[in-house]
Structure 1
Amino acid sequence: MSHPHPELQKPPKLPKGGLRVVGLGGLGEIGRNMTVFEYDGSLLIVDCGVLFPEEHQPGVDVILPDFGWIRDRLDKVAAVVLTHGHEDHIGGVPYLLRERPDIPLVGSRLTLALIKEKLKEHRIVPVLQEVKEGDRSQLGGFECEFLAVNHSIPDGLAVAIRTGAGLVLHTGDFKMDQFPLDRRITDLRGFARLADEGVDLFLVDSTNAEVPGFTTAERDLGPAIEKVFRDAPRRIIVSSFASHVHRIQQVLDAAAAHGRKVAFVGRSMVRNMGVAGDLGYLRVPEGLIVSLEHLEKMPANKATLICTGSQGEPMAALSRMASRDHKIRVGEGDTILMASSVIPGNENAISTVINGLTRWGANVVHKGNAKVHVSGHASAGELVYCYNIIAPANVMPVHGEWRHLRANADLAISTGIDPDHVVIAEDGVVVDLVNGHAKITGKVQAGNIYVDAQTVGGATEAHLKDRRTLAEEGVVTVLAIVDADTGELADRPDFLVRGFAHEPTTFDPAIQVIERTLARAAAEGIGDPHQLEKMLSRDIGRWSHRAFRRSPLIITVVIDA
C-alpha cells in the first residue's frame, strides 16, 4: 500500500500515454472535493467544492481548493464534471469560473439547476452541458460515461473516464439503497459491465468505510418522522441540509397527512426547494406550502417550518433561533426535528444548538435519540460488494479523513486487491497511472484558500493565528516614546490592554524589559523604529509568557521623541 511521504517533491514530467490524477481537495478531509485528471495535455476536473471552517478558523466563510497548480493551464481544462449538487462538490465552482468563465460544466439536470442559481449571485452565466445516466460525452482527451448512483440528493452520477492510459471509475458520493424514495438505484449492472471491460483505477467514496454492514434505507425513517408529527403538540421545526430533497419530501408527506401547512425558512432552503419543485424532483401537494407570515397566523399545532442549521452554523436559522436572534421564537411545546447527520468537527456546535433550544422548552429530536436520519454514503459492506463486482486493477480511496481513507484501503486489500496497487493520497499528492499501475510520483501545491468576506485568498494562516490569539489571549498595545539621541525611554510607556486580565500595576515589570531591550538595541546600533518595535514585541511577549503563562498579541508602537 502506498501513501504520501513528507519528502515528496515536484512530480516528473508525465510519461507519454500516462494519466495523472491529483486531488486538490477531499483527501484527508470531509469537503472541498476536487480531482484533476491530466492526459495528453488536456485536463478534466471532477467536482469543485468548498470546505466549511472549523472553530480554529475564525472569520472564514468557506475554504476553497488551491487552483495554483492549474492556474496557468486553465485553457487546457476541457470541462468540470459535477457528480451531484452538494456544496462540498459544487460550492467552489463560482470561484473557479471567475478565472475562466467559459469552462463547460457537465452534470445532471438537478445539479446544473442548483449551480446555475448559485452562479446568478456571482453574476456569472455558465456554459452548461446536461447529461443523464447512460450518456457518453467526449470532453477533450477524455471519453466520459455517466452512471446513476443514489445519495442524499437526487440525480447523483458516477463517471467512467476512458483514456489511452486506461479506464477510471469515479463513484462520486454514493450508497446502495435498494429502496430509494425516487426508485433510482445505483447502477450495479453498469459497474459490472465496466468490470468486464477492465477498470484500471477505481476512485471510491470513503466516508463510511469504518461503518460495518449496509447503510439503512431512506424509507426506514418513515415511522420515526411519522411519530414526530403524530405526537407534537405545537409547532414542528425541521432542520435539514438545504439540498436534501428526499428528506424534505418525507417531511412534506407527513405534514400533509396530519393537516399541517409548511413554510420554508432561509434563503438557500427556499432557493433549492424551489428549484427541486420546479423540476419535479419534489412533489408538493397543492396548497401545502405557505409563506412564513401566513404560517405565523395559524394555530401552532397546524404549523411546520423547514429551515437550515442542522450543523450548528452560527448564521443559520436554527442556531439563531437557539440564541434568540431570530424572529421565530422557539417556546414550550415546540418540537425540533434535526434530520441530518453530524459532519465531523461540528459536534460541539450542534450540541450548543440543542442545549439552547432545550432551554427554551423545545423537545429536540435528533439522530442521537431517534431514527431520523440515515447517511448518504456506502458503508463497509457496500464498498466490499463494489470491490468484488468491479475487481479494479488499482484503487484510490477518496472523500474522507485519513482514518476513512485507510479503512477503505484495508477493505480493498481484504477482497484480494494487491496492496501495491492501493494508493492512499492526500491533497496535492500526484498519482500517475502508467502501464496499468497507479503509484505516487510527487506532490504539488494544495493548501487552504480562505474566503473571508469579499476577499479570496487574502486571509492566511498567520491572520488566523492572530485572530485566535486575540480571542483566547487578548491584545496589549505598548506605546513607547524613545529619545532618538540616547535610545532610552523619554517617558513612561503606556499599556493599552484588551481581553487580558490585569491590575493597574501588572505591567510595571515590563518597563524594565523595555529598558533592557532598548539598551541592547543601542549597543548594537539599532535605531530604526520598525526594528525596535519587532524587538520590543518579541521580548515583552516572552516576559508575559514567563510571568503569566499567557501569550497576548503584543503590538508595539515606537515614537521618536
Structure 2
Amino acid sequence: MSHTHPELSAPAPLPAGGLRVIPLGGLGEVGRNMTAFEYDGRLLLVDCGVLFPEDHHPGVDLILPDFEPIRDRLDAVEALVLTHGHEDHIGATPYLLRERGDIPLVGSKLTLALLGSKLREHRLKETVHYEVAEGQTITFGPFVLEFVAVNHSIPDALAVVIRTGAGVVLHTGDFKMDQLPLDGRITDLNEFARLGDEGVDLFLTDSTNAEVPGFTTSEKDISPVLERVFAKSDQRIIVACFASHVHRVQQVLDAAVAHGRKVGYVGRSMVRNMAIAQELGYLTVPPGVMVDAKELADLPPHKQVLISTGSQGEPLSALSRIAQRSHSFVHLEEGDTVVLASSLIPGNENAVYRVINGLSRLGANVVHKGNALVHVSGHASAGELLYCYNIVKPRNVMPVHGEIRHMRANADLARATGVQNVVLAEDGVVVDLVDGVAKVTGKVEVGYVFVDGTTIGDISEASMKDRRILGEEGFLSVIVVVDSATGKVVSGPEIHARGFAEDETTFDEIRQPIIDAINAAVADGATDAHQLQQTVRRVVGRWVNRAHRRRPMIIPVVIEA
C-alpha cells in the first residue's frame, strides 16, 4: 500500500493523448517489480517479479505483485517486457499467464531461456515470445519499443525505450556502469546520450544503490580475492551465490581450473540455470572441470569446489541444509572454506547470519562480504546515477526499484543535476504523463499477494497477523460447558495452551475468575454462547497480559448442554 500519498483517491479517466504509469510492485521494496503503462486504452507491462518472504511472513513461499488493478483489462495487454532474468523481475510471470496465457513475452535470449524453464516447471505451455537484443525496435499496438544494452549482475540485461504519442519513456531496468565487465558488454551510454539529445520525457531509474556514494566496484576486482581464497585453502571450498549469477560462477570455474580443482553444482536452480547459460554460450566451462556433485566427494578435499545456492540464508536451500548438517551428501569438515558471494538483501540479514554461525560452529572458515570483497552490487551507485541524469537530461524523473529511502535518495540526485520535475510514487500510486509533464493523479488499491504452497492470494494481511501472533505470542483455547436452562457452568474451564510453561498449575488462578465472569454475565442477561465467549476472551486476555506480559491468540468455546 502507498504511504507517501495516503490522501489520494482513485484516478480520473486518462486524458486523451496521455500516458498512465501504474506501479503494481517494486516501488517501496526490493523485489516483485512490475509496472503497467497505459496509452490509448491499451496496456504494456514491464517486468513481473516476485518478492521473497521475510521473518514476519510465516509460512509464505513467495509474494507476488497485485494484478487486481489490471485483472479485468488483461485482454488490453499488448505485451510483457522482461528487462532481465532475475527472479524479482520474471518470477511472477507464470502466475500472470495463468490468468491470460497468450500474453506476448518480450526479452533477451538468456532472459527468455530462464523464463522458459520456469514455465515448464509450472507446467505452462510455451507462449508467444519475441527475442530481442540491444539496438532492435519492435511495435505492439500503440507502443514502439527500443532496447538498450545495460550491464547488471546477470548477462543480457536491457533497458527499454517506450515511445507513444505522449512522449519518450526510458526505463533502465536494473543496471550499473561497470567499465570492465567480465563479458565485455557495457551499459550503452552512447545510446543514453543520443536519447537525451532527442529528448526523454520520463526517465524511470533503478534506485537500489542511490544511497551509496561514488561508483559501484567492478566485477573484475573479485577475481584476485577469489584467487587468494583458493591459494590459501588446502581443503574443500564451497561458494554460495545467486543461482543466476553467471559471471560469479565463471570466476569460480576459472579459479578452480587454475588450482587444479573439480567443480560440482549443488541446488536444483543452480544446476538448471548454469546448464542454460552454458548451452547459450554465456558461461564457458573448460573441459574436464565439471563433475556430478555426488561424485565430487570421492576426490581428496583439496581437489573439490562446490557451487551452491543459499547465499540469502533461505531455510530450504542447499547451504542452509549444509549448515544444519541435514544435507543428503555434503557434510562439512573442520577447516573447509565457505564463500558467501552475494549481497545481503534487506530483511535477510538475520537468516544469513544464522547460516554463517551454523557454518562457523562446524569449523568452517566463512568468507563473506563483511570480511572480504567477494561480492559487488549489480546496481548503479550515486555517481553513476548522476552521470546518467546529466547525459539523459530528462524532463521528468520517476525513481523505481527500491525501498522508500532509496527512491528518496535517487530523487535528490535527480534534483541536484537540475531535473525540475521528480515524481515520487509507491505501489499503486498512479502517475500520468500529459503534455510533457508527469504528475501523481490518484491511487489504486494494491497489496501483497501471498503464495503459500498451492494457495495464491487467499491469505489476507489479517491471517498473516494471526500467524505472527501464533508464532510470537502463543495460543490459548478455553472450553466451558454451561447449563442451557440456568446458565451455570457445569464443566470446565478446560484450558489448552501452546507457547506457555508446561506446568499443570499455570492456569489454576484464572479458572475461578472465568466462572465468576460467566455467572455475572448471565445475571446481567447474557444468554447466547457468543456473548459468553466474548466475556471469557476479555477475562483471559486481561489476566494473561498482566500475569505473563503476552497477547496470545485466545479461542474461547462455550458449549450449551
Please indicate, yes or no, whether the TM-score normalized by the shorter chain is above 0.5.
Answer: yes
Partner of 1:242: 243
Instruction: Answer yes or no: is the 8 Å Cα contact 2:222–2:374 preserved in 1.
Output: yes
Provide the secondary structure at the position in 2 that maps to 1:506. helix
Match of 2:418 among 413, 416, 419: 416
Partner of 1:442: 442
Instruction: Answer yes or no: is the 8 Å Cα contact 1:4–1:440 preserved in 2.
Output: no
The AA in structure 1 aligned to 2:424 is: I
Provide the secondary structure at the position in 1 that maps to 2:491. coil
Shift of 1:470: 1.8
Provide the secondary structure at the position in 2 that maps to 1:238. strand
Q: In 2, distance between residues paired with 1:523 and 1:106?
A: 71
Partner of 1:285: 286
Provide the secondary structure at the position in 2 that maps to 1:492. strand
Q: Does 1:326 align with 2:318?
A: no
Q: Does 1:348 align with 2:350?
A: yes
- Going from structure 1 to structure 2, the CA distance change for 1:18 and 1:521 (only over 3 Å counts) comes to farther
Q: In 2, distance between residues paired with 1:393 and 1:483?
A: 76
Shift of 1:467: 1.8
Shift of 1:530: 4.0
Provide the secondary structure at the position in 2 that maps to 1:152. coil
Once the two structures are superposed, residues 490-509 of structure 1 have per-residue CA deviations (whole angstroms, 9 ceiling, x without a partner) of 12311112211264333233
Partner of 1:172: 173
The equivalences for 1:152-551 within 5 A come to 152-327=153-328, 328-418=330-420, 421-501=421-501, 503-519=503-519, 521-523=521-523, 525-551=525-551
Q: In 1, distance between residues paired with 2:88 and 2:517?
A: 50
Supply the RMSD in Å over aligned alpha carbons: 1.5
Q: In 1, distance between residues paired with 2:469 and 2:335?
A: 42
The AA in structure 1 aligned to 2:23 is: G
Partner of 2:91: 91
Q: In 1, distance between residues paired with 2:26 and 2:405?
A: 13
Q: Structure 1 unaligned segments of length 5 or more: list them.
A: none
Instruction: Answer yes or no: is the 8 Å Cα contact 2:213–2:381 preserved in 1.
Output: yes
Partner of 1:66: 66
Instruction: Answer yes or no: is the 8 Å Cα contact 2:493–2:515 preserved in 1.
Output: no
- Going from structure 1 to structure 2, the CA distance change for 1:531 and 1:79 (only over 3 Å counts) comes to farther
Q: In 2, distance between residues paired with 1:492 and 1:59?
A: 34
Instruction: Answer yes or no: is the 8 Å Cα contact 2:5–2:429 preserved in 1.
Output: no
The AA in structure 1 aligned to 2:81 is: V
Provide the secondary structure at the position in 1 that maps to 2:213. coil
Once the two structures are superposed, residues 439-494 of structure 1 have per-residue CA deviations (whole angstroms, 9 ceiling, x without a partner) of 11111111000000110012222222222222222211111111111222112311
Deviates more, 1:388-397 or 1:339-348: 339-348
Q: In 1, distance between residues paired with 2:260 and 2:492?
A: 74
Give percent identity, aligned residues only. 66
Provide the secondary structure at the position in 2 that maps to 1:249. helix
Q: In 2, distance between residues paired with 1:521 and 1:42?
A: 61
Provide the secondary structure at the position in 1 that maps to 2:492. coil
Provide the secondary structure at the position in 1 that maps to 2:191. helix
The AA in structure 2 aligned to 1:78 is: E
Partner of 1:47: 47
Instruction: Answer yes or no: is the 8 Å Cα contact 1:263–1:305 preserved in 2.
Output: yes
TM-score (norm 1): 0.97
Instruction: Answer yes or no: is the 8 Å Cα contact 1:3–1:440 preserved in 2.
Output: no
Instruction: Answer yes or no: is the 8 Å Cα contact 2:151–2:185 preserved in 1.
Output: yes
Instruction: Answer yes or no: is the 8 Å Cα contact 2:241–2:341 preserved in 1.
Output: yes
Provide the secondary structure at the position in 1 that maps to 2:333. coil
Provide the secondary structure at the position in 1 that maps to 2:505. coil
Once the two structures are superposed, residues 371-412 of structure 1 have per-residue CA deviations (whole angstroms, 9 ceiling, x without a partner) of 111100000000000000001000000001111000000000
The AA in structure 1 aligned to 2:287 is: E
Partner of 1:79: 79
Shift of 1:516: 4.5
- Going from structure 1 to structure 2, the CA distance change for 1:108 and 1:560 (only over 3 Å counts) comes to same
Instruction: Answer yes or no: is the 8 Å Cα contact 1:500–1:552 preserved in 2.
Output: no
The equivalences for 1:120-159 within 5 A come to 120-125=120-125, 126-159=127-160
Provide the secondary structure at the position in 2 that maps to 1:154. coil
Provide the secondary structure at the position in 2 that maps to 1:95. helix
Q: In 1, distance between residues paired with 2:543 and 2:17?
A: 61
Partner of 2:37: 37
- Going from structure 1 to structure 2, the CA distance change for 1:535 and 1:81 (only over 3 Å counts) comes to farther
Q: In 2, distance between residues paired with 1:4 and 1:460?
A: 22
The AA in structure 2 aligned to 1:64 is: L
Shift of 1:531: 4.5
Partner of 1:6: 6
Once the two structures are superposed, residues 234-276 of structure 1 have per-residue CA deviations (whole angstroms, 9 ceiling, x without a partner) of 1010000000000000000111111111000000000000100
Q: In 2, distance between residues paired with 1:75 and 1:492?
A: 59
Provide the secondary structure at the position in 1 that maps to 2:408. helix
Q: In 2, distance between residues paired with 1:534 and 1:452?
A: 31
Deviates more, 1:144-153 or 1:349-358: 349-358
Shift of 1:542: 2.6
- Going from structure 1 to structure 2, the CA distance change for 1:535 and 1:122 (only over 3 Å counts) comes to farther
Shift of 1:433: 0.6
Shift of 1:36: 0.6
Q: In 1, distance between residues paired with 2:539 and 2:183?
A: 65
- Going from structure 1 to structure 2, the CA distance change for 1:3 and 1:413 (only over 3 Å counts) comes to farther
The AA in structure 2 aligned to 1:385 is: Y
Instruction: Answer yes or no: is the 8 Å Cα contact 2:29–2:402 preserved in 1.
Output: yes
The AA in structure 1 aligned to 2:305 is: T
Q: In 1, distance between residues paired with 2:523 and 2:44?
A: 61
TM-score (norm 2): 0.97
Structure 1 segments (4+ residues) deviating >6 Å: none
Provide the secondary structure at the position in 2 that maps to 1:256. helix
Q: In 1, distance between residues paired with 2:538 and 2:185?
A: 62
The AA in structure 1 aligned to 2:366 is: V
Shift of 1:292: 1.5
The AA in structure 1 aligned to 2:32 is: R
Shift of 1:317: 0.7
- Going from structure 1 to structure 2, the CA distance change for 1:513 and 1:14 (only over 3 Å counts) comes to farther
Provide the secondary structure at the position in 1 that maps to 2:411. helix
Shift of 1:517: 4.1
Deviates more, 1:409-418 or 1:546-555: 546-555
Shift of 1:176: 0.4
Instruction: Answer yes or no: is the 8 Å Cα contact 1:265–1:317 preserved in 2.
Output: yes
The AA in structure 1 aligned to 2:404 is: W
Q: In 2, distance between residues paired with 1:548 and 1:3?
A: 35
